[in-house]
Amino acid sequence: MVLVSDTHLSAGHPEGVERFLRFLRGPCAAASRVILLGDLFDFWVSPAQVRDPVLGGVFEGLRTLFAGGIDTCFIEGNRDFAATPELAAAGVRRLPDVDVIESGERRIVVTHGDLLCTRDVRYQALRRVVRRSLMRHVLRALPERAALRLGTGARAGSRRETMNKAYGDMGLVPDAVAALLRAHDADALVCGHVHWGKRFAIDIDGSPRDVVVLSAWEDSGTYVRLDEGRIDFVTFA
The count of chain residues that interact with Mn ion, using the rule CB under 5 A, is 4
Provide the 10 A C-beta neighbour count for residue 89.
13
- What are the residues whose beta carbons fall under 8 Å from the beta carbon of 237, sequence distance 6 or more? 221
Nearer to Mn ion, 61 or 192 (CB): 192
Strands 188-191 and 207-213 turn out to be parallel
Range in contact with Mn ion (rule: CB under 5 A) among 73-81, 90-98, 175-183, 228-236: 73-81
What number of other Cβ atoms are within 10 A of residue 40's Cβ?
A: 25
**77 to 116: interface string for Mn ion, x by CB under 5 A:** xx--------------------------------------
Question: Pairing mode, if any, of strands 198-204 and 207-213?
Answer: antiparallel
Q: Is 197 in the site for Mn ion (CB under 5 A)?
A: no
The single-letter DSSP state of residue 114 is G
Residue among 37, 44, 187, 193 that touches Mn ion (CB under 5 A): 193
CA distances from 228 to 3, 30, 104 (A): 14, 15, 4
Residues 6-45 that bind Mn ion (CB under 5 A): 39
- Give residue number: closest CB to Mn ion: 193
Q: Is 5 in the site for Mn ion (CB under 5 A)?
A: no
Site for Mn ion, rule CB under 5 A: 39, 77-78, 193
